[in-house]
């Protein structure tokens, strides 16, 4: 298992963002669903080693990230797209992706090819020399994905990756997710349930810091049979699970 989480909690002051989450994920695309404030981003940031958990146990890629050496090993094999992508407007697309390849300690000899591949896979080849300040929101999102995959990560964490993408790009992105999921664990946090239904093999639904559903998208859709809220089966399942959890 690339992700092993046991009783993981995270508090910010008096607010509990993640409350005793248990999860396991191997290679494939794993969807993380939930309403705003459910704790998805906090969980993802802990998995990205950006913040330490308050309590609980976290093992990533078979290593314990609390120690510096293993954490550094994890980070070399990790890709992360945060919900709010920060970027340097003066960098070109190629420079930005190369910058993160360097920070992820991709071997120097492999960097040019890795940057080229990441930029091409996100369909930014024609914009490789464009300054980031000139790009649209959707293109910036793709730049974020490119920097996340430049090191060919074994664990890829994507927070709202399809935000700002047009429908055509979202379809292409789902295909990319499926392809990445063949050899890596891809955790996608989103509130767009159709993305999960189309790309994910496993899905966890979070609410108020807890996992209230864990299963396949089909099982989630099945939970919505006979429930009225939502257009698609998986949306009805999503609503039904949340309603049950809150009742």
The residues that touch another protein, with contacts defined as CB under 8 A, are: 45, 48-50, 52, 66-69, 71-73, 75-76, 78, 80, 82, 84-91, 94-95, 98-100, 102-105, 108-113, 115-117, 119-123, 125-126, 128, 142, 145, 147, 169, 172-173, 175-176, 178-180
Nearest CB to another protein, comparing residues 25 and 46: 46
Nearest CB to another protein, comparing residues 67 and 134: 67
The residues facing 60 across adjacent strands are 3, 63
Output DSSP code: residue 48. Answer: T
Q: How far is the CB of 153 from another protein (least distance, A)?
A: 11
Chain center to CA of 120: 20
Token pair 């993640």 in the structure block, residue: 18
Torsion of CA 12, 196, 73, 53, to 10 degrees: 20
Q: How far is the CB of 107 from another protein (least distance, A)?
A: 8
Q: How far is the CB of 130 from another protein (least distance, A)?
A: 12
- Could you give the CA distance from residue 38 to residue 186 in angstroms, rounded to a whole number? 20
Q: How far is the CB of 167 from another protein (least distance, A)?
A: 13
Q: How far is the CB of 190 from another protein (least distance, A)?
A: 16
Query: What six digits make up the tokens of 226?
Result: 């006979």
User: Does residue 154 sit in helix, strand or coil?
Assistant: coil
Say if residues 131 and 161 touch (Cβ distance below 8 Å).
no
- Could you give the CA distance from residue 65 to residue 59 in angstroms, rounded to a whole number? 7
Q: How far is the CB of 160 from another protein (least distance, A)?
A: 14
- Could you give the CA distance from residue 240 to residue 246 in angstroms, rounded to a whole number? 10
Nearest CB to another protein, comparing residues 57 and 110: 110
Dump the DSSP string for 25-62.
E-SEEEEEE--TTSSHHHHHHHHTTSS--SEEEEEETT
Nearest CB to another protein, comparing residues 120 and 225: 120
Nearest CB to another protein, comparing residues 13 and 107: 107
Nearest CB to another protein, comparing residues 104 and 223: 104
Nearest CB to another protein, comparing residues 198 and 205: 198
CB within 8 Å of 179: residues ≥ 6 apart: none
Q: How far is the CB of 68 from another protein (least distance, A)?
A: 4
Order the strands of the 202-207 sheet from edge to edge: 78-81, 155-159, 185-190, 28-33, 202-207, 210-215
């Amino acid at each position: 298992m690339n992700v092993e989480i046991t009783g993981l909690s995270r508090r910010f002051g008096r607010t509990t963002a993640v409350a005793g989450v248990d999860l396991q994920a191997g290679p494939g695309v794993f969807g993380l669903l939930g309403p705003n404030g459910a704790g998805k981003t906090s969980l993802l940031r802990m998995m990205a080693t950006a913040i330490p958990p308050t309590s609980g146990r976290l093992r990533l890629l078979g290593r314990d990230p609390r120690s510096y050496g293993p954490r550094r090993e994890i980070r070399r094999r990790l890709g992360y797209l945060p919900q709010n992508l920060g970027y340097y407007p003066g960098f070109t697309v190629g420079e930005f992706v190369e910058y993160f390849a360097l920070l992820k300690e991709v071997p120097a000899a492999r960097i040019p090819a890795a940057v080229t591949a990441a930029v091409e896979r996100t369909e930014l080849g024609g914009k490789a020399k464009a300054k980031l300040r000139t790009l649209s929101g959707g293109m910036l999102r793709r730049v974020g994905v490119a920097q996340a995959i430049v090191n060919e990560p074994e664990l890829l964490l994507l927070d709202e990756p399809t935000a700002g993408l047009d429908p055509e790009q979202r379809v292409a992105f789902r295909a990319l997710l499926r392809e990445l999921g063949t050899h890596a664990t891809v955790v996608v946090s989103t509130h767009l349930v159709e993305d999960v239904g189309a790309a994910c093999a496993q899905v966890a639904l979070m609410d108020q810091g807890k996992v209230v559903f864990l299963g396949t998208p089909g099982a989630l859709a099945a939970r919505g049979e006979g429930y009225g809220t939502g257009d698609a089966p998986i949306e009805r399942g999503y609503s039904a699970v949340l309603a049950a959890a809150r009742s």
